[in-house]
Amino acid sequence: DQQVKQNSPSLSVQEGRISILNCDYTNSMFDYFLWYKKYPAEGPTFLISISSIKDKNEDGRFTVFLNKSAKHLSLHIVPSQPGDSAVYFCAAENQGGKLIFGQGTELSVKP
């Protein structure tokens, strides 16, 4: 039973536009959320995170929004660049200290 889900397996966006990647979770005890980015044949790399006491965290072109009542978070990339094309994983940390990952969304940014 997956506690973290990314329901869109893929997303295609035009260069310069906004990319919005979504993630839903079921466990209200999660207190920390992270986004990882993965290129083919490489391991995931950390992108941005947010604590459950916040509803927004911004880092350059990347912003993560957290809606605790809806148990939903999203990653906004603006403006999107071709180099952003990758698989994006959402992850949540439970109180045992484990990261629970979603299944990823493949973003394709077209020039």
Partner 1 sequence: DTAVSQTPKYLVTQMGNDKSIKCEQNLGHDTMYWYKQDSKKFLKIMFSYNNKELIINETVPNRFSPKSPDKAHLNLHINSLELGDSAVYFCASSQVGSRMQETQYFGPGTRLLVL
Interacting residues with partner 1 (CB under 8 A): 2, 32, 34, 36, 41-46, 49, 51, 89, 91, 93, 96-99, 101-104
Report in angstroms the alpha-carbon separations of 79 from 97, 105, 111: 33, 18, 12
Among 51, 34, 45, 30, smallest CA distance to 84 is for 45
Write down the H helix ranges in 3-104: none
Q: How far is the CB of 90 from partner 1 (least distance, A)?
A: 11
14 or 51, CB closer to partner 1?
51
- Closest distance between partner 1 and the C-beta of residue 33, in Å? 10
